[in-house]
Amino acid sequence: MINLLELDRDALAATCEQLGEKRFRATQLFRWIHQRGAHDFGQMTDLAKSLRDKLADRAVVSVMPLISEQASSDGTIKWLFDVGAGNAVETVFIPETDRGTLCVSSQAGCAVGCRFCSTGHQGFSRNLTTGEIVAQLWFAEHHLRKRLNLPEGQRAISNVVMMGMGEPLQNYAALVPALRMMLDDHGYGLSRRRVTVSTSGVVPMIDRLREDCPVALAVSLHAPNDVLRDELVPLNRKYPLAELLASCRQYLVKAPRDFITFEYCMLDGVNDSDRHAHELLALVAASGVSCKFNLIPFNPFPESGLKRSEDARITSFLRVLQDGGLVATVRRTRGDDIDAACGQLAGEVQDRTNAKVRMTRAPVRLVRMETNA
Ligand code: SAH
Ligand code: SF4
């Protein structure tokens, strides 16, 4: 049985051909599945009965089993999906007045192992398939339309951010068809500006994404120099800041937006002094990357041993960036009461990478700043 959520429109057309059908049937089928949320081929009444029968024999439209759903007092909803072999991934819906954002996972766990990230501490199990990435959107969109009682034709989800569990650019082959399905006018019809890939900085894959499927890009910076970034985001040892920023500048040539979003997680006494902010200004100015900064107050979890920066510290850091001419905002924490905030998505990961051992053997060698001045 083939799960049709795995197939973008080209792949679906090829499948239709194999079944002895015309390629254009794939568009009808694709619309039934993604625009209308149909999973029962019997419902698809404008398809020939013969095709419906063939599909019923060979294909399904199927989502991973849902383990749990938690709703926050602020409207945020978090779902936990079973992806088999003891692994589970999380998806988060974040409603705002003018949009509905879905935060989607790309891997069960993550191999990058950032110090401040709960997913990183869990280690890595496996990549999600295209269908498992798309299923999160398919499920959320069609579930929410019913739940929120939306009028026919109105969408629940206007934005997708690949900011759930995992490093999307370390699952490139599955990611790109999933992005294409999100952008497809016969699918979710999201504009490139409203689909964001967030990465810890997999430089060669940023370069490929620019050519294959340029969508909005967010880069997790977290430090103004290589010494500190090596500690916080271990991938920096492979792709240091100079290479990362050069790749960001190139990305802008094809990007749907004229800036890169830099995410910066505010860690008390680690990367949050005014000196760090000044260093960041200099770094960005020298790189020539047009950008916006998004400061994320650290969301603590027990094993991290790290603390969130004080509000006053965040404000001061923000002001240095703004006074230096950068556009910078502080990300409002959502879904705090259900552990749905950035970096808190832990799911359930059967670690194959010994992350726990690695992380305790190599305690954080952070150069802590003496003063915040
Ligand atoms: N792997 C990708 C996307 C997933 S993480 C990436 O790293 O960009 C989404 C964002 O949440 C990243 O900017 C990440 O650095 C940030 N984040 C991770 N752990 C966090 C935590 N505990 N508190 C606040 N932000 C965190
Ligand atoms: Fe992986 Fe992103 Fe977490 Fe780093 S912050 S461990 S790259 S999910």
Q: What is the pLDDT of residue 370?
A: 47
Q: Which residues line ligand 2 (CB under 6 A)?
A: 110, 112-114, 117, 119-120, 166-167, 200, 220
Per-residue pLDDT of the chain (373 residues; tens, 9 = 90+): 999 999 999 999 999 999 999 999 999 999 999 999 999 999 999 999 999 999 999 999 999 999 999 999 999 999 999 999 999 999 999 999 999 999 999 999 999 999 999 999 999 999 999 999 999 999 999 999 999 999 988 999 999 999 999 999 999 999 999 999 999 999 999 999 999 999 999 999 999 999 999 999 999 999 999 999 999 999 999 999 999 999 999 999 999 999 999 999 999 999 999 999 999 999 999 999 999 999 999 999 888 999 999 999 999 999 999 999 999 999 988 887 887 777 677 777 888 887 876 775 555 555 555 444 4
Distance 96 CA to ligand 2 centre (A): 25
Encoding tokens for residue 125? 């199990």
> Rounded to an integer, what is the distance from CA 338 to the centroid of its chain?
19
Task: For CA atoms 182, 6, 247, 105, give the dihedral sign.
Answer: positive
Evaluate whether 117 touches 166 at the Cβ level (below 8 Å): no
Q: Name which residue sits closest to atom 4 of ligand 1, judged by CA.
A: 163
- Specify the ligand 1 atom closest to the Cα of 297: 24
3-state secondary structure of 83: strand
Q: At what angle do helices 172-183 and 9-18 cross, to 10 degrees?
A: 90
327, two tokens: 């556009």
Probe residue for ligand 2, chosen from 124, 175, 220, 263 as the CB with the greatest number of ligand atoms within 8 Å: 220
Phi, psi (5° rounding) for residue 297?
-60, 130
Q: What is the position in ligand 2's atom list of the atom closest to the CA of 120?
A: 6
Dist. CA 341–CA 300, nearest whole Å: 10
The residue assigned the tokens 């015309």 is 22
Q: Is 109 in the pocket of ligand 1 (CB under 6 A)?
A: no
User: What DSSP character marks residue 129?
Assistant: P
For residue 50, the CA-to-ligand 2 centroid distance in Å is 47
221 Cα–ligand 1 center, Å: 10
Atom of ligand 1 nearest to the CA of 167: 1
- CA–CA dist 193, 324 (Å, integer): 26
Residue 296 beta carbon below 6 angstroms from any ligand 1 atom: yes
> Residue 87 pairs with which residues in a beta bridge?
84
Cα 153 to the center of its chain, rounded Å: 26
Ligand 2 atom having least distance to the Cα of 116: 5
User: Residue 24: how many CA atoms within 13 Å on its side-chain side?
Assistant: 1
Nearest ligand 1 atom to alpha carbon 220: 13
Q: What is the pLDDT of residue 278?
A: 98
Residue with tokens 């259900």: 338
Which pair of structure tokens corresponds to residue 364?
A: 């954080």
Q: Is 90 in the pocket of ligand 1 (CB under 6 A)?
A: no
* Cα dihedral 50, 51, 52, 53 in deg (nearest 10): 50
What is the whole-number distance in angstroms between the Cα of residue 23 and the centre of ligand 1? 41
User: pTM of the entire structure?
Assistant: 0.95
Which residue has its alpha carbon closest to ligand 1 atom 9? Answer: 163
Active site residues: 90, 342
Distance 65 CA to ligand 2 centre (A): 25
202 C-alpha to ligand 1 centroid (Å): 14
Q: Which uninterrupted H or E stretch holds 130?
A: helix 130-147
d(CA 105, CA 110): 10
